[in-house]
Structure 1
Amino acid sequence: MSEEISDTPTNLTLPKTQATLTLRIIKSFEFRTEKSLVLHNVNLEETTVGQLKELARQAVHTQPGWKPYRNVQLDTMKLYTKAHGAKTSNLIINLDHDEWLLSDDSRILADLGFENETEVSFFNRELYEQFKVHPETKWENAQS
């Protein structure tokens, strides 16, 4: 019995009503402390930015393994990359493209171009703005 290999890109393998999203929950920009939260079966045609934020906050506060992240005031999301899209050299967030900030909580994810395997960073906006002014990582300096 042979399995067929599909030529369909992974971002098109699931309908927009059953998408898988990866959220990079960021605790510290300087130390690159982040943990990925994978959400399955997200309906991109009905879910808003605000609802996605609430899903992520609920997971951080209720799922095991997230205790170190529970004291972070998560308030801002920013598109990191779409499936098969170019990725930034920064491993947890792209510091350019501030137009990718998801600032309107009422926007529907599909209307913002979300598709299966979209990756988003979720973080504290104040800490992000501070890091943009001085984008130095501390763990690199400690290793030199």
Structure 2
Amino acid sequence: MSDRGVLTVRLVRSFEHRNFKPVVYKDVSLDQTVEEFVTFIKRDVSERAGLPPPFKKFDYDTLKIIHQPHGAKTNELVMSLEDDEQLILRNHCRLRTCGVANETELAFFRMEDYKRFKADPHTEW
């Protein structure tokens, strides 16, 4: 089992407007903590060329597994609203221990926005 992997992180700006951008990270240590990976993503996103400023300046705070390799994908366009207990990553946990493996897709979003959307899941176009 490799201790490194390729992870796709979906930067979610708005659940209601289905506004997100995927960013791919290669050679990610799966033995780092969620907190360390969050710090890395925030720094990278703020400096990444080609990302629109609203994505660079957004206050992301939570990671959730969207899809694991060889697993079923959700029908939701942004991410599933189910199984938060198993799929939302806890800061003190190592990525691998939280179920993150090579080719896992994650959503990175603001928890406050997610809770509001989950309570009233309507979308706007």
**TM-score (normalizing by structure 1):** 0.81
In the TM superposition, 1:32-71 aligns within 5 A as: 32-44=18-30, 46-66=31-51, 67-71=53-57
Structure 1 residue 65: deviation in Å? 2.2
Q: 2:60 aligns with which of 51, 63, 74?
A: 74
Q: 2:93 aligns with which of 100, 107, 117?
A: 107
1:130 maps to amino acid:
R
Which consecutive segments of 4 or more residues in structure 1 shift more than 2 A? 15-18
Matched pairs, number:
123
Q: 2:63–2:107: 8 Å Cα contact kept in structure 1?
A: yes
Q: Which whole-Å CA distance do the structure 2 matches of 1:51 and 1:79 have between them?
A: 16
Q: Which whole-Å CA distance do the structure 1 matches of 2:78 and 2:2 have between them?
A: 25
Q: Which whole-Å CA distance do the structure 1 matches of 2:2 and 2:66 have between them?
A: 18
1:56 maps to amino acid:
I
Q: Which whole-Å CA distance do the structure 1 matches of 2:15 and 2:9 have between them?
A: 15
Q: 1:49–1:108: 8 Å Cα contact kept in structure 2?
A: yes
Q: Which whole-Å CA distance do the structure 2 matches of 1:130 and 1:23 have between them?
A: 21
* Percentage of matched positions with identical amino acids: 36
Q: Structure 1: which 5+ runs fail to align?
A: 1-14, 140-144
Q: 1:18–1:43: 8 Å Cα contact kept in structure 2?
A: yes
Structure 1 residue 91: deviation in Å? 1.5
Cα RMSD for the two superposed structures: 1.2
Q: 2:15–2:117: 8 Å Cα contact kept in structure 1?
A: yes
Name the structure 2 match of 1:9: none
**TM-score (normalizing by structure 2):** 0.92
Q: Which protein has the bigger strand share?
A: 2
Cα deviation digits, residues 32-81 of structure 1 (max 9, x gap): 1100111100111x211011111211121001122121232100111111
Structure 1 residue 134: deviation in Å? 1.3
3-state DSSP of counterpart to 1:50: helix
1:105 maps to amino acid:
N
Q: 1:25–1:37: 8 Å Cα contact kept in structure 2?
A: yes
Structure index of larger Rg: 1
Q: Structure 2: which 5+ runs fail to align?
A: none
